[in-house]
Structure 1
């Protein structure tokens, strides 16, 4: 009876299972490539399950990132993580102000176009060196984009594509864990999330954990080139999905 009273209104069993499958797939992708949860889940959720964006996706991303960081803890590049998080803090803070001036769709279109440009350049041979300046700049972009759209990973996919698989996954896990907390605080300050959204995230937590542990065998088989292709592919698909959702009007 208590569970029935707490269960969010309008989330019947079939809808919950579909959300769970989405979260499972995103968690598995992140476990393999170091990112992919928000990049995969947020655009689909915007179209099919808008109640998951942004709060529940970010709330689920916190423990998922922690699991990823702990699994390969010794491989974390602490310098890169520090500069990226400093930039992410600035980006999350800026997002609270930017949301008061510009609309979410306008910003989403700009972000998507910039990410697609970055993917295109990378495919043509451009590789970003993982320097303090590049890490901080990617962090700012990630903080802005993650707070506004829930998908803050694409800038980091561009900036860190040349790291070896284990340091990539572990460093991104560290960055996403702290960064997701920052973005949740920023959203709460802007009044863009509530207790119901966080409850939905809690209810989907088992699907996230299952997806992450399912990724273990796959992660061990991925080469550096394979991970880079996954990163760029996810970044492109995420940007295209966000762009389509922003440009194509939806009807109630």
Structure 2
């Protein structure tokens, strides 16, 4: 568990996202007790540290629209957890993300505007609350941002969004004291991974993160499929 959390934290510290996309499918196979609550509880402070490290680069207007969508998506996810099949929704999310990646690679450019950011936030709120992996929509919507603005802005979004999702999980009985204790035990591993990412980030300064983001989005979508199949 610790090694997985450390690697995921390092990925997110370098690329701005990747923690849940890396950890969620592996946890579904080997450590199901981590999904979704404990991973969200670890991702929340990780996102805060990522945002604070490059806080001068945060796009606050983008953050606002993304959080609006995220809150709406989280509220919708609460209804889905009660009334609808999680497996069906997970398959749908994964298919839409893979389609978005394919279109992006084919030349489709997603404009970085308020509408697309809000839609990405809505999809992220749904996916993040249900599967722990809420980053793929932002990987597509923000793939053309400069690396520092991408990391800082997504960090701010994920910090507040993860906190909202944790409250939602607690309301529907999916987050307990035992889950919080497990998160606390894994916290040192997350901190080590983030520390390593700070060194790697400086070495990769000026390198486009778009290939990494689309790769992580694809792996995250495939991971959601694996996670869903493991629960079936």
TM-score normalized with structure 2 length: 0.97
CA–CA separation in structure 2 for the residues paired with 1:214 and 1:225:
18
CA–CA separation in structure 2 for the residues paired with 1:141 and 1:78:
19
1:82 paired to 2:60: no
Out of 235-244 and 40-49, give the one that drifted further: 235-244
Counterpart position of 2:125: 143
User: What 5-or-longer segments of structure 1 have no aligned partner?
Assistant: 1-18
CA–CA separation in structure 2 for the residues paired with 1:160 and 1:191:
33
Matches for 1:150-189 after TM superposition, within 5 Å: 150-189=132-171
Matched-pair contact (CA < 8 Å) for 1:127–1:161: no
Question: Which of residues 190, 193, 196 is equivalent to 1:214?
Answer: 196
Matched-pair contact (CA < 8 Å) for 2:63–2:154: yes
Deviations 1:43-86 (A, max 9, x none): 11011100110111000011100100000000000100100001
Out of 94-103 and 223-232, give the one that drifted further: 223-232
Question: Which of residues 163, 171, 174 is equivalent to 1:192?
Answer: 174
Structure 1 position 222, deviation (Å):
2.7
Question: Which of residues 220, 223, 230 is equivalent to 1:238?
Answer: 220
SS of match in other structure, 2:125: helix
Structure 1 position 247, deviation (Å):
3.7
1:43 to 1:65, Cα distance in 2 relative to 1, 3 A: same
Q: How many residues align?
A: 232
Counterpart position of 1:40: 22
Structure 1 position 241, deviation (Å):
2.0
Matched-pair contact (CA < 8 Å) for 1:75–1:167: yes
CA–CA separation in structure 1 for the residues paired with 2:229 and 2:42:
27
1:115 paired to 2:97: yes
Structure 1 position 177, deviation (Å):
0.3
Structure 1 position 248, deviation (Å):
6.0
CA–CA separation in structure 2 for the residues paired with 1:245 and 1:68:
26
Deviations 1:73-109 (A, max 9, x none): 0000010010000110000011111111112111111
CA–CA separation in structure 1 for the residues paired with 2:223 and 2:37:
19
CA–CA separation in structure 1 for the residues paired with 2:230 and 2:191:
33
1:227 paired to 2:209: yes
* Structure ID, larger Rg: 1
Matched-pair contact (CA < 8 Å) for 2:147–2:208: no
TM-score normalized with structure 1 length: 0.89
